[in-house]
Amino acid sequence: MPQKLTEHLPQVNWQNRRIVITIVGCGGTGSQIVTGLPYLHQALLASGHPYGLRVFLVDGDRITETNCVRQPFSRSEVGLYKAVVLINRLNMFWGLDWEAVPHFVRCGRDVPDSDFLISCVDTRAARAVISRVVSLKSRKFHYWLDGGNLADRGQFVLGQPLRKGRRDRAKRLPCVHELFPSIVHAPADRRDRLPACSAAEALQMQEPYINSTVANHMLALLARLFRHGRISYHGGFVNLATGRVTPLAVDLATWLR
């Protein structure tokens, strides 16, 4: 008998300190998320949270002319680090003190400990590295929110990394690589076909608003968790070709399928 829909209630107290978020990747989706987070920061402050958000943006990519077509960069910024440009822009406009980390994630040392690690990467190899980093017992990531997309569809999954010694295993939200192992492990005879969000060919391979659609759903999920303290879904699947959004329920039977 399938279990009834349940809710997830975080076991972390965010009321007396800043909520720390680290974003890895600031291409098509990551740039949309980081530019949307100041609105969530302001909403938290307006609703009585004393500190709001603290954000780190991690990406070693530099801006190219191609990026100026689909991503929020100008040709005058070509050659500069994406993360530095975006964070400086947000800090000046909103009066924030968020930080850029202009490095690629290879072993995790460049990823600050945070309540939420949000990954917006475009290869299985990158997700595999992140899945190892968030699972290290020596690190402190309460949640991992991953988002990705193909030409006209995408998905996002919020999970709690499985580490040795966790006491709340039965109530833990599974991460994206546990529900969908193929997202980090491809057969040996197949190439990683996920389109690079900064490649010129992505202009023809992706629908114009797939990145922002996935990003807004990820932001809405975080907003609901912070503002209401509970969620009945922890991810979803977006299809621009059909106009459908299917939630991923907080439900053991759904996870087993």
98-102, 189-193, 237-241: segment of lowest average pLDDT: 189-193
- In single-letter form, the type of residue at position 132 comes to R
Report the percentage of the chain scoring pLDDT > 90.
58
pTM, two decimal places: 0.89
Tally of domains within the chain = 1
Is residue 23, in this structure, part of any structural domain at all?
yes
Q: What is the mean pLDDT of residues 50-69?
A: 93
Decide if pLDDT at 206 tops 90. Answer: no
- Model pLDDT for residues 181-198, shown as the tens digit of each residue: 888 876 543 445 444 444
CATH code for the domain in which residue 131 is found: 3.40.50.720
Whether residue 96 has pLDDT greater than 50 = yes
Whether 3 maps to a domain, the answer reads: no
Asked if the model's pLDDT at residue 202 lies above 90, the reply is: no
**pLDDT(150) > 90:** no
φ, ψ of residue 154 to 5 degrees: the values are -160, 175
For residue 155, pLDDT beyond 80? yes
User: What is the 3-state secondary structure of 209-246?
Assistant: CHHHHHHHHHHHHHHHHHHHCCECEEEEEEECCCCEEE
Residue 131 sits in which domain range? 19-256
Please give the Cα distance from 58 to 98 (Å, whole number).
11
Could you tell me if residue 12 is inside a domain?
Answer: no
Domain assignment of residue 150, yes or no? yes
Quote the mean pLDDT of the chain: 87
Is there a domain that residue 4 lies in? no
Q: What percent of the chain has pLDDT over 70?
A: 87
